[in-house]
Structure 1
Amino acid sequence: MTTVQAPPRRGRAIAGWAAIAAVLLLVGLVGVTLSGAGQWSQRDVLDPESAAPQGARALATILRDQGVDVTVARDRGAARAALAQRPATLVLSAAPALSDGALQELVDAAAGVVLIEPRARDLRIGLPGSVPAGGAGAASVTPGCDLDAARRSGSITPGAGFRPGDAQGCYPLGDGAYALLTSGTAAAIDGRATLTNEHLAAEGNAALGVNLLAARGAVVWYVPSLSDTDLASATPSLGELTPGWVTPAIVVLVAAALAAALWRGRRFGPLVAERLPVTVRASETTEGRARLYEAARDPLHAADQLRAGALERLGRALALGPTAAAPEIADAAADRLRADRGVVRGILLDDRPTTDAQLVALSDRLRDLENAVRAAVRPERNRP
């Protein structure tokens, strides 16, 4: 009797789930990496601790080398505390997350303010009456005012321009616009084009940055973020706009999908080995097929089966390979035996038995032909 062994499905199932978990983990890591890269690219812009091209670490390092105390504040509380300790210059980037009142509070607490990424709202609070005036077309511009910090710095590479209200303009760009605005203790300049790491070494950019920021011996560099905000969102979120029944419906659908997945993927345990009641011998199978051919009175079909087996064995004996055609095998056998090709082809291909007696005769001739070819190919086996 024959026993059928159960295939090791448990190991394959565990390996499949492990592969799915690994793929999900990889996708999550890629998403976190891309998200972190996006956040870091935003942090790089005019960040005094960033060495990226858009950062401002080089200027902060120069200020410290000149003896200026540079404090980096990443929230309003830290900025207010640092400004309350001693008179200091507040370096302020664009802070869209702050309300007008919060921004005004920081400006009022500082002994001086330098807007290095001024927007219209920042100019309105820091330099009343001043407005943005677009980008500059010149690669270099010289000071056109009597401001001591500008005269000592010389020419700079300008970025965006501003039109002054009550402020003084310096570094004229034409059409009433200036690259630098000053008014008492406040100043505004496009730091992206002048004070970043990639542009600081050009012209007198570094000198102007030091002259503007180091006037009071201490700098509080406020780096705003979207999380540091005092604004109450007036725009309703997606959750607030969604009807109350949507979330429970989504939960039910997800639960139904999981249940369907578990149902369709259920297992009934390992396969049970079945003990077969009997093993059928090959000879009995052959005899059964022969009786079927006899009952069907189809000697030609039986002859084809006999010839197919004989041709396969003769092909191996003659070393013709599995791709050899039947006529090639017949001709090779005739050549090996030095027999008439027509006779050999008749045995292997052409003769068509119509009765059982003719079929038996053809079977005997096939057997004799195979024996003769084996004897011709390996005559030493036939020696006494």
Structure 2
Amino acid sequence: MTAPAPADAAARRRRVGGWAAIAAALVLTGAGSAALLSLGDWTERDALDPESVGATGTRAVAEVLRDQGLSVDVVRDRSSAERALADSGDTLVLTDTAALDDETLERLTRMADDVVLVDPRSRDVRVLLHDAAAAGIGDGGLAEPECTLAEAQRAGSIVPGAVFTPGEGVTACYPSGDGHALLSAEGDTGRITALDAGELFSNAHLADDGNAALAANLLGRQPRVVWYLPALGDGALPDTAPTLGDLTPDWVTPAIVVVLASAVAAIAWRGRRFGPLVTEDLPVTVRASETTEGRARLYARARDTVHAADLLRFGALERVARALGLGPATPAPAIADAAAGLLGADRGRVRGILIDDLPASDAELVALADALDDLETAVRLAARPERNPQ
């Protein structure tokens, strides 16, 4: 058994290296996509997330509470929140409650001793705070508590975000714009407080005004804080967010399969090699006369009389030069001058026949061919007079 040739081994290594590079590129692309997706997930949880150190996270609030000796548990689904609220002495901190239905929201708030809504919706304040309502955004200036709530009085002034109109029996603090920034009411099991803390409790603004004091006062009333970030599907309604497959038309998947199969077939077809290229003789021999006639018909069809005249002159110059004993590298003007000198003919006339005259029609081309033939005959007879018949 003979060893493979070096060229074959090199080609095989190149093929293997190419497939390895393609596989590596696919792996890197997948890893990059996964990283970007995971980054996107982290960004979605960033706002009011007590484990986030980003500008909109609330890690600083959590650390302030822990420094005061409180326990802060972060939960991200309803079952974990219910298990965490099984013991007494808990403050439930609720972020965006869009995933929770009314019944689930009320049941969770009844399980806690205190409830603080840090991203309240109009539905939340209506259901939990005696028909309170959203009233827009504050005027952007500092607001004083102007209420009897001790936690707000100790904290001092803040810059409100969203404001609300209080319902009956609800304590309202920090008047701004058309409403109040903080609402508080006593529930069946404890106190419920609502405050738009998207900026107030964030890492970027916690040190401003009375924000840190207000966060510590509201969230630090119980020894344990359960910080609940609801997830899709935590409520009674199922997670109805459509997947990519749900949004894709039915014909897309078969079309992708067909395109991929076609690509693989094209790669196999164009990439297959049976060995080095070799020369092969033509199966038939074409006579020179047939080739000449075929080219002549093409020139005639194209009415390219100048090109046809050039071809006639090339042959005539070669034969005249051979009859005169001139080398193949002799320029055309020298051949024409030598022929004119031998024949004693007008040099300009001979040059016109061999070089300068350009036929504009078929008749002129035929006349030029006759003149070339006559010139060749005269030169041949003059160069070798012994062959001239008497």
TM-score tier by shorter-chain length is 0.5 to 0.7
1:60 aligned partner, one-letter code: A
SS state of the match for residue 225, structure 1?
coil
1:45: which partner in 2? 47
1:113: which partner in 2? 115
1:24 aligns with one of 18, 26, 35: 26
8 Å CA contact 1:299, 1:356 repeated in 2: no
- By how many angstroms is 1:14 displaced? 3.8
2:81: which partner in 1? 79
2:176: which partner in 1? 173
TM-score by length of 2: 0.65
Alignment of 1:38-187 (within 5 A): 38-166=40-168, 167-175=170-178, 177-184=179-186, 185-187=191-193
8 Å CA contact 1:97, 1:225 repeated in 2: yes
**Structure 1 spans left out of the alignment, 5+ residues:** 278-291, 308-348, 359-384
2:316 aligned partner, one-letter code: R
1:354 aligns with one of 336, 344, 350: 336
Tell me, in whole angstroms, the C-alpha distance in 2 between the residues paired with 1:70 and 1:255: 50
8 Å CA contact 2:137, 2:177 repeated in 1: no
226-235 or 93-102: which moved more?
A: 226-235
1:298 aligns with one of 292, 317, 321: 317
2:172 aligned partner, one-letter code: G
- By how many angstroms is 1:237 displaced? 7.1
8 Å CA contact 1:113, 1:187 repeated in 2: yes
Distance 1:240 1:20, change over 3 A: closer
Q: Percent identity over the alignment?
A: 39
Distance 1:233 1:58, change over 3 A: closer
SS state of the match for residue 161, structure 1?
strand
Tell me, in whole angstroms, the C-alpha distance in 1 between the residues paired with 2:217 and 2:327: 104
1:231: which partner in 2? 237
- By how many angstroms is 1:6 displaced? 7.3
SS state of the match for residue 334, structure 2?
coil
- By how many angstroms is 1:256 displaced? 3.6
- By how many angstroms is 1:62 displaced? 0.8
2:275 aligns with one of 231, 249, 271: 271
Q: Which whole-Å deviations, capped at 9, do the CAs of 1:201-258 have from their partners, x for residues lacking one?
A: 011111111111111222111122225444225688786798xxx74x6555444434
What is the RMSD of the two structures over their aligned residues, measured on CA atoms?
Answer: 3.6
Tell me, in whole angstroms, the C-alpha distance in 2 between the residues paired with 1:227 and 1:26: 33
Distance 1:252 1:357, change over 3 A: same
How many residues align structurally? 294
Residue 209 in structure 1 maps to residue 191 in structure 2: no
2:315 aligned partner, one-letter code: A
Bigger Rg, structure 1 or 2: 2
8 Å CA contact 2:317, 2:332 repeated in 1: no
SS state of the match for residue 120, structure 2?
coil
Distance 1:21 1:190, change over 3 A: same
- By how many angstroms is 1:126 displaced? 2.1
8 Å CA contact 1:6, 1:270 repeated in 2: no
Distance 1:26 1:137, change over 3 A: farther
TM-score by length of 1: 0.66
1:137 aligned partner, one-letter code: D
Distance 1:180 1:250, change over 3 A: closer
8 Å CA contact 1:299, 1:354 repeated in 2: no
Tell me, in whole angstroms, the C-alpha distance in 1 between the residues paired with 2:273 and 2:32: 37
Q: RCO (CA 8 Å, sep 6+): is it higher in 1 or 2?
A: 1
Tell me, in whole angstroms, the C-alpha distance in 1 between the residues paired with 2:152 and 2:318: 113
Distance 1:17 1:102, change over 3 A: same
Tell me, in whole angstroms, the C-alpha distance in 2 between the residues paired with 1:17 and 1:238: 30
Distance 1:294 1:35, change over 3 A: same
